[in-house]
Structure 1
Amino acid sequence: MSDKNNLKEQKAQEKLKKIQQKKARKEDKKKIKLQKKEEFTKLYNEFEGHDGTQEGKIKAAKTKKVKKVKDKIDYKLALKEAPIKFLKEVNKIQWSSRKNLGTKFLWVIIFIAIFGVFFFFIDWGFQSLFELIKII
């Protein structure tokens, strides 16, 4: 009995930790967003627009904004990790069952036959029409 209670308590604690981590991530995102907004408002307030209009001021502040410098890619590490990432992605694929593939194959064959017969009769009709009006 105590083992079950301990397991339940551990699971409850793990859930609480996950919830707290999610909240922390959300707060971090909010802080980053606020920082970006403050940077933009600071640039906006410092800058005088070209034509004196509100839109001109906003455009000029956006163009003046400095972009982040991209980190360099470690190609050796990327080449080592590529097969592992590939296998993980392949394992995520849900393959169809043999029965499901068989039914889909039959439907495709049936529709090919139906459209083949349909276009045969269309072709035959046009051929006989052209022979009637003596085009062919």
Structure 2
Amino acid sequence: MNDKAKVKITLESNIDGEVEKNVFSGEWYRKGSTVYLKYEELEEGGSEVRTLVRWRDGELSVTRRGDVESQQIFAAGVRRGGQYASQHASFYLETETSLLWAQFGDMAKAEPIEEPLLPHLPMLLEWHYRLLVDDEPTGEFVIRLRAEEA
């Protein structure tokens, strides 16, 4: 089982009922039981933002670097602090996560898993959260991320 792979990432987001789907090329790697995904997004206006997703022990973090800088942490049933900064605005934010779920491997295939305790591809993450800025709810999010070998 490889600890590193080039991947196709499908990211589906439902933000207050508005659905968007994006596909990215990226890199998946594992260090012990921690999994990382790296990919680049193009923002409106053509600027690049590097995104790092980390999954470890039921906690997910999403860090974005570029014209937009942000850090969000998600853990089911917990409110976590984060931040957002761009040339237009900078603020402290919080995420209140109601669901955080991960699946590793293809559940449709009945194949033996060599290392059942270690995460592997394909990987599916789903998380539902409410975003708060200054203790005020600003949106309800449902995010689904799938990574599979390219």
One fold, TM greater than 0.5?
no
The two structures have a TM-score, normalised by structure 1, of: 0.15
The higher-RCO structure (CA 8 Å, 6+ apart) is 2
Which has the greater radius of gyration? Answer: 1
Instruction: Give the structure-2-normalised TM-score.
Output: 0.14
